[in-house]
Structure 1
Amino acid sequence: MGEKMERIAGAILGALIGDALATGCHWYYDIPTMRRVCGAWVSDYRRPAPGHYHDGLEAGECSQSGLLLVLLMESLLARSGYEEEDFTRRLDEEFFPQLDGSPRQGPGGYTSQSIREAWRKRVVEGRPWGQCAGYADTTEGVERVIPLVALLHGDLAKMAEAVLAHVALTQKDVTVLAMSLAYASVLALLLRGETFDSRISHRLMAAVQSGALPFHTVTGGDLAALPVDERPLRPGEMPSPDALLTPGNIAAAARDPAVVIEPAWKASLVYGMPCAIYHQLPAVYYLTARFPGDYEGALLHAVNGGGQNLSRAMLTGALMGAQVGLSGIPERFLRGLREGERYLDMARRLAMLA
């Protein structure tokens, strides 16, 4: 497998493994309770506890987040590219009929707020796609786009357009869109072989100045003020590039010996355990920077931090997998992932398409 295929397969399998690994111990906001129920240190797949979230899934099965990622990957492969109409048809015909609008129901054992809102607007109210998004400030959209980034990472402008359109199917808050695109852009750079360090934000800002990323800014790639008058926002442009600055700032903090979060799983306490994207992404960036080259270390600290550890592990898993490649993911995680062979075959085919 070539280096590009290694990175793409690593990102996709890395995300799905993170999802499945956290599913068995998801949404414990009281750490002592999590340790009592799930053990002192979660290091492999486990079945959810009876009566807890995702009860009924087997160890190594993906949650709904992982299943939606796979649904998008199926669409990309079937159409040899991204066609919104094909993906939304799959939601209408294959996915939404399995929902009833309640949270603890549906494929994967739980349906998130943004998906429930889209289901209500589409199925109950009969609205067309384009009018089904809600204001959930969570990470479902950015979790789904991982295979889309893998496909289009070679062209940041095309990737950005597709990512924003796709996330906007279910979430329309501009902060969520900006932070989702920022994460997608980081993932794209890592798939190109770049390093996750304090300079990554400078590289992202340079992409803004070149016109590749649609953020409005009055600073250059070195973050210095530009000697020009401020121009108006262009259609579809994010109003602020601050979401692009966060990864570099946090990477610098993770490498600074004077900044101590010990043990690393406590990043969930520092940045926040809840589901909102502005809690999730800082912890994801911190763990990615804290464990360079160590997929297992980053992932297990993401999982063992409790709270919304599923999103934290899924998003960390993609960034780490993009860096270490498939060969850098422990064999036991690949072997224990339910339907892992099918997912790996799909990831390889997507890499060839990319």
Structure 2
Amino acid sequence: MSAQSLQDRAVGALMGAFIGDALALGPHWYYNLDALRADYGDWIDDYTTPRPGRYHAGMQAGQSSQAGVLLALTLDSLVAQGGYDEVDFCRRMDEDFFPLIDGTPMHGPGGYTSQSIREAWRRRVGEGLAWGLCGGNADTTEAAERTLAIAVRYALRPAELASAVTRNTVLTQTDGTVVAMTVAFGAVLGMLVEGYPLDEQLSGRLMARVKTGELPFHSVTRGALQAPHPDAEEAPVAGRFPSPDALLGPSDTARAARDPSIRIEPAWKVSLVYGLPCAVYHQFPAAYYLAARFPDDFESAVLHAVNGGGQNQARAILTGALAGAQSGLSGIPWRFIDGLENGTGLLEQARRLAVQVVAGA
């Protein structure tokens, strides 16, 4: 694994997420797919301007939603501090972000404030609670959308990845399933940045890290989920999370994506198979599917995520990160960076973080 290819994948993951976010800004949250096609045509292939009366009305093509804003805030903190510094992250939220929102949905940078961020704002600003007491039970992917930068930073250090992603997630979302699936997504992304493929073997590699204690998931099985020997010397792993299922799903999804007898055509209809809504159990499987189906084609992966409708912004951010980690920056069409607001600045920050990934290995 060369330092250059590692940096290429790290930058690709970050820029892929920013691109996915901005591509879905215009057609975000169309649950009526006929209305989506009527407004944007049969195939969306570039940045678009939100229509009047929609969630991000008044914004322009290529701009970031609030998810992109929070991802950039997390990235800036990581670069400035050389890693995850919770005090610095919380200070930036207090000083640079929370003053821009008011706890209502249709206000603030990016045009819309999601549930978990509204709840954290109400507890932190409205009630004056300390960080650590502001998390809510939203079952969505907001934490995964910003902690993907943390996962990239610690891609070569899985135990630190899991710890930092967990600690950042619970600042705003405390549901155990959400935290487990968010940490699992970060662990998958980290392995793609390392250079492993999103395939049938990936979950086995993740489970090996559970056995060594690097990933905080519970496990009592051995090998390919075989029953443990009664006299086995290896003790069961009792991790923070009650089961390893969030680590096992990605390989099952990848197997389906590559099985010629299982076809979702066109691929954007994965949104109908796994569901259009916002919750983690709809979003993560769809992102894994698209990234596994198009491992060498960033554009196809992210555009099918966008064209699937519903909560396509989360789907596109997550897919963009996974697909960008596989293709690297070198596999991302340059027009997507050219059309992204502050694309050059985001790229510079992503490259700075990538240097830290290699230096901190």
Deviations 1:281-300 (A, max 9, x none): 11011111111200001111
Superposed counterparts of 1:149-188, under 5 Å: 149-188=151-190
Distance in 2 between the 1:232 and 1:5 partners?
Answer: 33
Distance in 2 between the 1:263 and 1:284 partners?
Answer: 15
Distance in 1 between the 2:335 and 2:222 partners?
Answer: 45
Aligned to 2:260: 257
Query: Are 1:125 and 2:127 an aligned pair?
Result: yes
The more displaced of 300-309 and 200-209 is: 200-209
Aligned to 2:330: 327
Query: Are 1:189 and 2:187 an aligned pair?
Result: no
Letter in 2 for 1:281: F
Aligned to 2:82: 80
Displacement after TM superposition at 1:232 (Å): 8.0
Q: Check conservation: 2:213, 2:237, Cα contact below 8 A.
A: no
Aligned to 2:354: 351
Letter in 2 for 1:344: L
Displacement after TM superposition at 1:78 (Å): 1.3
Distance in 2 between the 1:180 and 1:138 partners?
Answer: 10
TM-score (norm 2): 0.95
Distance in 2 between the 1:54 and 1:220 partners?
Answer: 49
Aligned to 2:301: 298
Paired residue for 1:16, among 15, 18, 25?
A: 18
Letter in 2 for 1:304: N
Q: Check conservation: 2:105, 2:118, Cα contact below 8 A.
A: yes
Displacement after TM superposition at 1:221 (Å): 4.5
Deviations 1:180-199 (A, max 9, x none): 01111110100000011111
Letter in 1 for 2:272: L
Deviations 1:19-51 (A, max 9, x none): 000011100001010000111110000110011
In structure 2, the residue corresponding to 1:135 is in which secondary structure?
A: coil
Displacement after TM superposition at 1:222 (Å): 2.5
In structure 1, the residue corresponding to 2:24 is in which secondary structure?
A: helix
Aligned to 2:242: 239
Aligned to 2:214: 212
Q: Check conservation: 1:16, 1:66, Cα contact below 8 A.
A: yes
The more displaced of 75-84 and 63-72 is: 75-84
Q: Give ranges in structure 1 of 5+ residues lacking alignment.
A: none
Distance in 1 between the 2:341 and 2:37 partners?
Answer: 25
Letter in 2 for 1:185: A
Distance in 2 between the 1:313 and 1:323 partners?
Answer: 15
Paired residue for 2:142, among 140, 145, 155?
A: 140
Q: Check conservation: 1:209, 1:220, Cα contact below 8 A.
A: no
Letter in 1 for 2:202: I
Distance in 2 between the 1:219 and 1:34 partners?
Answer: 46
Q: Check conservation: 1:115, 1:170, Cα contact below 8 A.
A: yes
Superposed counterparts of 1:37-116, under 5 Å: 37-116=39-118
Residue correspondences, number? 352
Distance in 1 between the 2:248 and 2:135 partners?
Answer: 27
Aligned to 1:342: 345
Deviations 1:193-219 (A, max 9, x none): 001111111111111111110001111
TM-score (norm 1): 0.97
Letter in 2 for 1:148: I
Letter in 2 for 1:325: G
